[in-house]
Every structure is written in C-alpha cells, then in structure tokens.
Amino acid sequence: MNKSESIKSLAIAMFSFQNQISTVQKNKKVKVKTKSGYEYEFPYADFEAVRTAIKEPLHDNELSFIQPVSSDGLTTILMHSSGEFIETTMPLNFNQSPQELGSEITYKKRYSLSSMLGLSTDEDEDGNWSSGNAVKESKVKLDDDKPWYNEPNYQADLQAMTDAVRGGTPPESIIKEIENKFKIATKYRNLIKAI
C-alpha cells in the first residue's frame, strides 16, 4: 500500500465518514451452481449499490476515489481534498476471456473499495464465478416496502429484548417478530442473538 507523506486530514475525514455511512442495501440476487451440482442463491449489494451508499458521505467529508486498471492490476486510490491519499493495487489475471476479466475487475473494484472504506461486504458471488461455478444474476426486490431496522430501533428495543430473553424468549423469536415489520441486517441479528 502506498500513501502520501501525511494522512492526518484523511484519517480525520475517514473517522467522520465511517460514523456517517449507512448500511449498503442488497439489490441483486445471485444463483450459484457448484461444480458438484449443488444450487443455492443469495442477495448481495453490487458495485452501484456500494457507490450509492457512499456517494454523499464521501462528498460530505471531502473524500473521493478512482480505480484505474493498468498492466499492474486494479489500483484503488482514496483521496482527500488536502491532497493526501492512500492507494492499493490488486493484480489481475489477463490470461482469461474478456468476460471473465470483466467479472474479476468488478469483483475487485467492489471488494477493494469496501475494504479501504471499512464497509461490510456481502457474500462472494464473483468469487464463485472465478472458482468455476456458474453464476446467474438478476435484479430483485427484497421486501422493498419494509424499512430497515436501524440503530435507533435497536437502542429503543434493547431493554425490552433483554428482559424477554432473560424471561425465556429465544432470540430467534424476537428476530422473527422484527422481520414482520422490518428488513433486518446481519449486524442486528447477531447483536440480538448475543443478548
């Protein structure tokens, strides 16, 4: 990883960015067939969903990024308006079909950027393609009519959930009840299971 001589302003901006960023919403579904014939599917957030989630927080904190491709691979550069930057390069396999290379670039753009910004990532659908599994994707709606269960909801419910678990209610039952009204991210599922 390369960086500017100082990253003080960048570090302050990243602190603010990470406190402002919202959950990256899943907007696609991938069907995967393994080499052994097992089939499964799961939702994930594509690169556009990541860009949409980070656009305003990046702007608000005077941050931007570029991801050029060269013979060295895919480089992700995170920049601050002060001129400070950090960058990292991931190698690419140029000995594959253009479609496979495109899939690898998309995969690495999303994961490199998510890693650099400290975003949580979804399951590895592009990795299935590069592993030789057949992947078919389609746009899906995932309970779009329900709002996301968020931090204020969790904080407001925490004491009641704690009392319910202590009274013998399984955390899974609480999660199912929340799912009747909200979409719930893995983070909150895990927090509730840990009560």
pLDDT per position in the chain (195 positions), as tens? 899 999 999 999 999 999 998 778 778 776 766 666 667 666 777 888 899 989 999 999 999 999 999 999 999 999 999 999 999 999 999 999 999 999 899 989 988 998 999 887 444 444 444 444 444 444 444 445 789 999 898 898 998 888 888 888 888 889 988 998 889 998 889 999 988
Between CA 192 and CA 195 the distance in angstroms is 5
- Element spanning 111, H or E: helix 98-117
Please provide the DSSP assignment of 172-188 as one string.
HHHHHHHHTT-B--HHH
pLDDT of the residue at 133: 46
* Residues near 77 by beta carbon (within 8 Å), at least 6 away in sequence: 65, 66, 67, 68, 85, 86, 87
Q: Which residues pair with 28 in a beta bridge?
A: 44, 139
pLDDT of the residue at 47: 87
pLDDT of the residue at 139: 43
pLDDT of the residue at 11: 97
pTM above 0.85, yes or no: no
Q: Which residue has the tokens 């909150």?
A: 188
pLDDT of the residue at 49: 87
